Amino acid sequence: MMQGFPPPPVERWTPEGWQLGPTNRWTFSHLREVVRTARVPAAPSSARSFEAGKPLDPGMTVTLPDGTVGTLDALLDQTFTDGLLVLHRGRIVMERYPAELTAADTHALLSVSKSLIGCVVGILMDQGVIEEQANITTYLPEFVGLGYDGATVRQVLDMRSGIKYSEHYEDPGAEITMVGQVVDWSPRLLVDLPTSLYDYLTLLIAAGAHGGPFHYRSCETDVLGWICERASGRRMPHLLSELIWQPIGAEQDADAAVDRAGTVIHDGGLAAGLRDLGRFGQMLLDRGRVGDRQVVPEAFLEDTYRGGTDSRAAFGSTSTDTRMPGGMYRNQFWLPYPADRQVLLCMGIYGQMIYIDPARDFVAVKLSSWPTAQQPELLGATLAAVDAIGDQLTT
């Protein structure tokens, strides 16, 4: 894709297809050239360095869920990997860039963005800027009498509002499809749609009581981002930079996609470099600390691992196909296993993932460009590979 000066028309990305394969092998690592973005500044002079650990063998064996056996290298190719970083005991043991992505590029995070926004919420709650049990209309009176009225910050953090919102990407009438048009990520087919994400959120209606089962709704993260901005009086690019990106020692600016009003697409619009995502994951592994600085409150992460009294029940009764029996969703993180195995997962469509495993003291970051948004077999293969990596590191 995009080879030549200029590339021939047949190789150029199009507004309706830039997120799909094979085009996304180029667009995901060139987001600034595809959509509007704001900068999330790093502080390169104080970037956190990594030492090198004992290298992982790319020829190591991985057994897939269907019983087939292959090498890690082959699996990276089969799962359309753009970048893989593995940290063990805080040291780099693998860093690979099999496709268009380089160490100097940012890559679309898609819904991995949600976990970063969740951490901003956790920090602001710890500072007393946001109250966990407050009705969101406390901060956003725009919702009084509308769909989100009555939902609390806690319920939105855990995606347990009663809002009607479909994530079926193939459905032209799904709310997630409408959002793509609102933020200009796809061609505008409905001319009367708003031109800002926040305006669109006020149009959403409730289909049930707030506080019920978990249901995956990207709009919840956008509501959280709006609350953060309104409560703090600062825009999200500044909040991310000041509260997370600079404190973790990021070496390069991140990107935040914005709509026509300058609103960040909180649910999936961030892009960042592979190593900086490793820094974020390592901070989470270290209970929210970088050196002697507490970045994300430890109590917030403890709550994330522990969940609420009914978090696993709410997750188990969902209509969302999670393929995570015994798991839960808390604070904008996935916890894919039953309570006796603590793993944090940040996950986005098209194969984006940060895997934090305290018991085995490792972090894996995988950036990908799957041909379509959701491919369960590729997710299963990725989780099998990460699990095999963890076993290899601890033998």
**Tens of pLDDT, residues 341-351:** 999 999 999 99
Confidence band, pLDDT 50/70/90 cuts, at residue 9: confident
Confidence band, pLDDT 50/70/90 cuts, at residue 159: very high
Give the percent of the chain with pLDDT over 90.
88
User: For residue 89, is pLDDT > 80?
Assistant: yes
Return the pLDDT at 320. Answer: 80
Return the pLDDT at 128. Answer: 98
User: For residue 2, is pLDDT > 80?
Assistant: no
User: For residue 11, is pLDDT > 90?
Assistant: no
User: For residue 3, is pLDDT > 80?
Assistant: no
Identify the residue with better confidence: 395 or 353: 353
Average the pLDDT over 122-141 and give the result.
Answer: 98
Strand partners, 264: 258
Q: Which residue, among 44, 109, 119, has the nearest Cα to 274 in the 3D structure?
A: 109
User: For residue 108, is pLDDT > 80?
Assistant: yes
Return the pLDDT at 344. Answer: 98
Q: What is the pLDDT of residues 361-372, one digit of tens each?
A: 999 999 999 999
3-state helix vs strand vs coil in the chain, percent to 5: 35, 15, 50
Supply the mean pLDDT for the chain: 95
- Rounded-to-integer distance, Cα 144 and Cα 159, Å: 19
Average the pLDDT over 263-290 and give the result.
Answer: 98
pTM above threshold 0.75: yes
User: For residue 269, is pLDDT > 80?
Assistant: yes
Return the pLDDT at 76. Answer: 94
- Rounded-to-integer distance, Cα 384 and Cα 386, Å: 6
Q: Which residue, among 171, 198, 195, 193, has the nearest Cα to 183 in the 3D structure?
A: 195
- DSSP for residue 53: -
Boundaries of every domain in the chain: 9-125+236-393
User: For residue 66, is pLDDT > 90?
Assistant: no
Catalytic one of 29, 45, 111, 241 = 111
- DSSP for residue 231: H
Catalytic: 111?
yes
Given this structure, which CATH class describes domain 9-125+236-393? alpha beta
Strand partners, 94: 86
Return the pLDDT at 326. Answer: 95
> What Rg do the C-alpha atoms of the chain give, in angstroms?
20
Cis peptide before 22 (omega within 30 of 0): yes
Identify the residue with better confidence: 1 or 379: 379
Distances (CA, A) of 181 to 45, 177, 187, 330: 39, 7, 6, 29
